[in-house]
Amino acid sequence: MMSTNPRHLILNLLLSIGGEPLTARDAVASCTLFGVRENSARVALARLLAAGLIEAVGRGAYRLGPNAAEFAAEVATWRRAEQRVCEWNGAWIAVHVGGLGRIDRVALRSRERALGMLGLREFDRGLHLRPDNLVGGVAAVGERLLKLGIERDAVVFVAKDFDPAREQRARALWDGKALTRRYRKTSRRLEDWLARAGSLPTETAARESFLLGNDAIRELVFDPLLPAPLVDVPARRAFADAVRHFDAAGHAIWSRFFEQGRSRRPALRARPAPTTTLEATT
């Protein structure tokens, strides 16, 4: 289950709505679904604003800010992930980070996240590999790694013609059978939930769809996009289709949740204002 940290919740919600603005009231209502109090949600909005992770787009409405927009654009590529894949000729994309430091924990986390999002796995100490089956090849991978925060001193190149033992070891960096099982299992989970979603209260459907969708999208964002025969490619494509279908259904559920919440809000205006409000801190 997702963290109930309100900042994470708000950022994930903004990521999920694809560039649409989010009002402070809708953010508060969303956080309430996950047990976060209104005051905590408004403080989280203020801190995200101060950090440049969100920005105002009118009175009481927000979107992702400059410090989050580029990463958000990379995350959003999950919708067209299969379009980034091409035929594999047996070569490997290699990234050497052995000469980079490990003391700066922020830089290290960014590096590991970037490598993970590009499906790279450690082959030897400091040397990470993935099949060279992404459109644009090594140049495109190097550019995406930089956007995702890896240091410019990382060395990105093509490796090929491994001896049989190293070739076997490289192919074993991923458990293709486990990945295929996960594609099918998650697809079934999403389909089964959608089959019963119509009987759920709107609040329950919104909360559960957000959690399930967030987990499924994360699987796609960090999927290594392996070629055959390392993984069952049709199973992955079916999984991606299931996630897109679920995401569309989730958007409809959340739109209904927001509309229902807005229709009830006039009756709540008589409540005392919270001690700390976003308006008071911005």
pTM for this model (two decimals): 0.84
- Strand pairing of 92-96 and 22-23? unpaired
Give dist(CA 182, CA 200) in Å, integer.
Answer: 26
Strands (E), the chain: 22-23, 54-56, 61-64, 92-96, 121-124, 127-131, 155-159
Q: Which two tokens stand for residue 46?
A: 């203020």
- CA 188/CA 33 separation, integer angstroms: 25
Q: What is the pLDDT of residue 126?
A: 93
More confident residue, 100 or 47: 47
pLDDT in tens, 131-173: 999 999 999 999 999 988 899 999 999 999 999 999 999 999 9
pLDDT at 263: 76
Say which residue, 71 or 224, is predicted with more confidence.
224
Q: How far, in Å, CA of 91 to CA of 160, rounded?
A: 5
Dist CA 277 CA 25 (whole Å): 11
> In this structure, what are the phi and psi dihedrals at residue 27, rounded to the nearest 5 degrees?
-65, -45
At 219 the pLDDT is: 94
> Rg of the chain's alpha carbons, rounded to an integer?
21
Indicate whether 119 pLDDT > 70. yes
- The number of beta carbons lying within 10 Å of the beta carbon of residue 166 is 15
Taking only the tens place, the pLDDT of each residue in 19-43 is 788 999 999 999 999 999 999 999 9
Using the structure block, give the residue that is written with the tokens 């989050």. Answer: 68
Classified as helix, coil or strand, 90 is: coil
273 has pLDDT over 80 = no
Tell me the two tokens of residue 223: 């999927």
DSSP letter string, 178-242? HHHHHHHHHHHHHHHHHHHGGGS-HHHHHHHHHHHHHHHHHHHHT---PPTTTS-HHHHHHHHHH
Specify whether the CB–CB gap between 36 and 9 falls below 8 A.
yes
If you classify domain 6-71+266-281 with CATH, what class do you get?
Answer: mainly alpha
For the segment 85-98, the average pLDDT, to the nearest whole number, is 96
pLDDT of residue 149: 87
Provide the pLDDT for residue 3.
Answer: 45
Percent of the chain exceeding pLDDT 90 equals: 72
pLDDT in tens, 241-252: 999 999 999 999
Q: What is the pLDDT of residue 59?
A: 83
Q: Are 148 and 120 in contact (CB under 8 A)?
A: no
CA dist., res. 267 & res. 43, Å (int): 24
pLDDT in tens, 225-264: 999 999 999 999 999 999 999 999 999 999 999 988 777 6
Tell me which amino acid residue 252 is. Answer: A
What is residue 282's predicted lDDT score, i.e. its pLDDT? 33
Q: What pLDDT, on a 0 to 100 scale, did the predictor assign at position 264?
A: 67
pLDDT category at 92 given cuts 50, 70, 90 is very high
Q: What is the mean pLDDT of the chain?
A: 88
Q: Which fold has domain 91-159?
A: Alpha-Beta Plaits (3.30.70)
Pick the residue with more confidence: 146 or 278? 146
With 50 as the cut, is the pLDDT of residue 274 above it? no
The answer to whether residue 77 scores a pLDDT higher than 80 is yes
What span, in angstroms and rounded, lies between the C-alpha atoms of 120 and 226? 10
